[in-house]
Amino acid sequence: MKKLFIALLLLSSLVSAQIYTPNDISVCLQKFHLVIDKKITKDPIGEVMVVIGKSFIGTMYEAHTLEKAEPESLVVNLTGFDCTTFMENCLVLARVAKIKDPTIKKYLEQLQYERYRNGIIDGYHSRLHYFTDWIYDGEKKGIVKNITQSLGGIPYNKKIDFMTTHREAYKQLKDDSFYKKIGDIEKEINKRQLFYIPKDSISKIENKLMNGDIIAFTTTIPGLDVSHVAFVIKMDDGNTKILNAPDVGKKVQISSKTLSEYVKGNKRQTGIIVARPLEPEREN
């Protein structure tokens, strides 16, 4: 309890634009101890992500986890996830746990750095809403590397405009300023050449994937780049599956199907984009 109390005091001394609970801080500290106790701080980042991800199995899916604050604030939620917040928190926790002295302060800094464009909270539009934009920004930050093209990916030619064409679904977009800024971001995304691996080709590259590789599932939904996010877990039998927060009413789990089977079984998924997590710089 003493450590938790100190952690909460440290949080209160940081920027005010944060939402969290004592349970979130407790879970964060537990995950740091898990990695340290298992003596895996020097293991590859993807291996650490899998250990942390497996420790969350059974956690309930929670939709709209980041829509809790206006103005835009850093939302911490380690007791319920959607697919993206599950992946991003496993990555953040793994990155921070691997440094010399992991702390709540560093977790918050890394979470903000990963979730927001250039790591800066500057309104609703500064959050990386489109996952291909998250990957693009993450490459610039040195957090991930998009390896889709090197795996044999082909051009993914699709106009991305889901948010502005579904303005009514986003309460923040009632604000004309945010609506325009999201539209400008969509225009920037559409200038980039994206690549994906079609569903019929995934089985050919599964053996090249590694634990922790981030999988974004491309979709037939008009205007949307990807519809789901997960990361790879290599099973003892050699199969490639995914760790993910699958859907409303379900819990964090390892898929029963292999990655290629999983995509083939979903009519709205057309293929995958793959981003490999990069090692954080260890602090002296």
**Which CATH number, 1.10.10.10, 1.10.3670.10, 3.90.480.20, 3.40.50.300, labels domain 2-138?**
1.10.3670.10
Backbone angles phi, psi at 228, to 5 degrees: -160, 155
- For residue 29, the one-letter residue type is L
- Distance separating alpha carbons of residues 74 and 78, to the nearest angstrom: 13
Mean pLDDT of 93-114: 94
Show the tokens assigned to 196: 């994906």
| Mean pLDDT taken over the chain | 93
With a cut of 50, say whether residue 4 has pLDDT above it.
no
* Domain edges within the chain: 2-138, 144-277
User: How many residues are present in the chain?
Assistant: 284
Residue with tokens 């709205």: 268
From 185, 196, 177, select the one nearest 130 (Cα to Cα): 185
Q: What is the pLDDT confidence band of residue 6, given thresholds at 50, 70 and 90?
A: very low
Query: Sign of the CA dihedral 74, 79, 83, 87?
Result: positive
70 versus 150: the higher-pLDDT residue is 150
**Which CATH number, 2.130.10.30, 3.30.70.2860, 2.30.33.40, 2.30.260.10, labels domain 144-277?**
2.30.260.10
Least confident of 1-5, 48-52, 111-115, 176-180: 1-5
Three-state secondary structure of the chain = CHHHHHHHHHHHCCCCCEECCHHHHHHHHHHHHHHHHCCCCCCCHHHHHHHHHHHCCCCEECCCCCCCCCCCCEECCCCCECHHHHHHHHHHHHHHHCCCCCCHHHHHHHHHHHHEHHHCCCCHHHECCCHHHHHHHHHHHCCEEECCHHHCCEEECCCCCHHHHCHHHCHHHHCHHHHHHHHHHHHHHHCCCEEEEEHHHHHHHHHHCCCCCEEEEEECCCCCCEEEEEEEEECCCCCEEEEECCCCCCECEECCCCHHHHHHCCCCEEEEEEEEECCCCCCC
Mean pLDDT of 137-147: 98
With a cut of 80, say whether residue 122 has pLDDT above it.
yes
Which pLDDT score, from 0 to 100, does residue 68 have? 76
With a cut of 90, say whether residue 32 has pLDDT above it.
yes
Mean pLDDT of 239-265: 97
Which pLDDT score, from 0 to 100, does residue 7 have? 46
Each residue's pLDDT tens digit, 149-208: 999 999 999 999 999 999 999 999 999 999 999 999 999 999 999 999 999 999 999 999
Least confident of 19-23, 122-126, 227-231, 238-242: 19-23
